[in-house]
């Protein structure tokens, strides 16, 4: 059924943003305002056959809002500079902090609910745990400029006296799934593993450079993009208490498990070798992440998450193997 609400999605041509556009279309929302840097041709297929009312370039979006004053009902601010190997902090400051503050102020002034993308990169080494309570951001020390920028915005949001009528900052853990074909080095390990298997018949994983972790046993909370979309949609519909929410599965899994699941999705026996981790990320590398999902569950979210094996199998068989988009 067609729904009349107007929804803005920033980062609409990217991985999670384009999947969200697809889900909203599926739910009957076609009056979408898509915001991104649309100059990248490799992202174009992500939005093929999608229904929307307007496409706006990221850098001129606020001028367009001022000029046309559209009646907006909800904003998903998914757009960000997500490259953890980009060490020029000014880039992150502009896109992840300043731009997000503009979105927040617009939502506040116009009484528009807001969901924005934060990140598990804010947790740094994880020494302080992975709780999404509101005291922790002020103590965290992220490991790279991307994580710093995301944490700076979280802190700023928490300190605001004026806010949107509902807001949620989602701390995405390791999201994987369709529509990440354009991401290159920053794509998920499953995407890289799939391409290595097709090319060489084996997968290379980083060795551990810490004595307390065996090679391939570095642990991350891998969450399937379909689960991320379900949470986003549920939050939009239900609007529980505003604040930061972790978004992972709540269960850390080894990279080796991930790769074995990728081979399984291709109906092939696993072949894995280990290589040195690049110097530029070695001392900035998270060896363990695991979302504490208590807050979202207590807010009333009941749906189960895909297990690693279920999510990877669906992604490999139904998307990567066929080159299909979400």
Residue 160's pLDDT band (boundaries 50, 70, 90)? Answer: very high
Does the pLDDT of residue 85 top 80, yes or no? Answer: no
Three-class SS state of 253: strand
Known catalytic residue at 295? no
**What pLDDT digit, counting tens, does each position of 199-230 carry?**
999 999 999 999 999 999 999 999 999 999 99
Ordered structural domains, the chain, with CATH: 7-176+223-250+290-305 (3.40.50.720)
Task: Report pLDDT digits (tens) over 94-105.
Answer: 999 999 999 999
In three-state secondary structure terms, 203 is: strand
Quote the DSSP letter at residue 70. -
Pairing of strands 219-220, 253-254: antiparallel
Task: Collapse the DSSP code of 39 into the 3-class scheme (helix H, G, I; strand E, B; otherwise coil) and give the result.
Answer: coil
At 83, the pLDDT band (50, 70, 90 cuts) reads confident
Q: For residue 87, is pLDDT > 80? A: no
Could you tell me which residues come within 8 angstroms of residue 201 by beta carbon, excluding any fewer than 6 positions away? 268, 271
pLDDT of 291 higher than 80: yes
| Residues sharing a CB contact under 8 Å with residue 126, sequence separation 6 or more, in sequence order | 286, 287, 288, 289
**Which of 155, 183, 204, 207 is the catalytic position?**
183
Residue 146 designated active-site: yes
Element (H, E) at 193: helix 189-200
Task: Please give the average per-residue pLDDT across 68-87, as a whole number.
Answer: 89
pLDDT of residue 86: 74
Pairing verdict, β 222-224 and 174-176: parallel
Whole-model pTM: value is: 0.95
Indicate the pLDDT class of residue 286, thresholds 50, 70 and 90: confident
Contacts of 199 (CB under 8 A, 6+ apart): none
Cβ atoms within 10 A of the Cβ of 197, count?
Answer: 21
From 146, 176, 224, 315, the catalytic residue: 146
Position 284 pLDDT exceeds 80? no
Higher pLDDT, 272 or 278: 272
- Segment 277-306 shows an average pLDDT of 92
């Amino acid at each position: 059924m067609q729904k009349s609400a107007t929804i803005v999605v920033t980062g609409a041509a990217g991985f999670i943003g384009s999947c969200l556009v697809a889900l909203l279309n599926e739910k009957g929302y076609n009056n979408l305002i898509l915001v991104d840097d649309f100059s990248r041709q490799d992202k174009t297929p992500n939005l093929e056959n999608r229904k929307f009312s307007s496409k706006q370039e990221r850098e001129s979006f606020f001028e367009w809002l001022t000029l046309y004053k559209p009646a907006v009902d909800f904003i998903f601010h998914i757009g960000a500079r997500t490259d953890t190997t980009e060490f020029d902090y000014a880039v992150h400051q502009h896109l992840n902090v300043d731009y997000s503050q503009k979105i927040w102020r617009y939502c506040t002034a116009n009484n528009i609910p807001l969901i924005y993308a934060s990140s598990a990169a804010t947790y740094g080494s994880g020494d302080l745990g992975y709780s999404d309570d509101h005291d922790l951001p002020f103590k965290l020390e992220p490991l790279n400029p991307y994580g710093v920028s995301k944490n700076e915005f979280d802190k700023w949001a928490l300190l605001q006296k004026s806010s949107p009528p509902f807001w949620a900052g989602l701390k995405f853990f390791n999201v994987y799934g369709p529509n990440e074909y354009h991401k290159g080095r920053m794509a998920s390990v499953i995407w890289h593993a799939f391409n290595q298997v097709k090319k060489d018949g084996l997968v290379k994983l980083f060795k551990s450079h810490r004595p307390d972790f065996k090679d391939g046993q570095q642990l991350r909370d891998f969450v399937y993009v379909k689960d991320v979309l379900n949470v986003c949609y549920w939050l939009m519909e239900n609007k529980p208490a505003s604040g930061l929410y972790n978004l992972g599965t709540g269960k850390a899994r080894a990279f080796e498990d991930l790769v074995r699941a990728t081979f399984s999705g291709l109906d092939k026996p696993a072949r894995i070798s280990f290589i040195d981790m690049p110097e530029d990320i070695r001392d900035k590398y998270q060896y363990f992440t695991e979302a504490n999902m208590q807050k979202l569950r207590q807010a009333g979210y009941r749906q189960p998450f895909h297990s690693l094996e279920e999510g990877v199998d669906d992604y490999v068989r139904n998307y990567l193997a066929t080159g299909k988009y979400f």
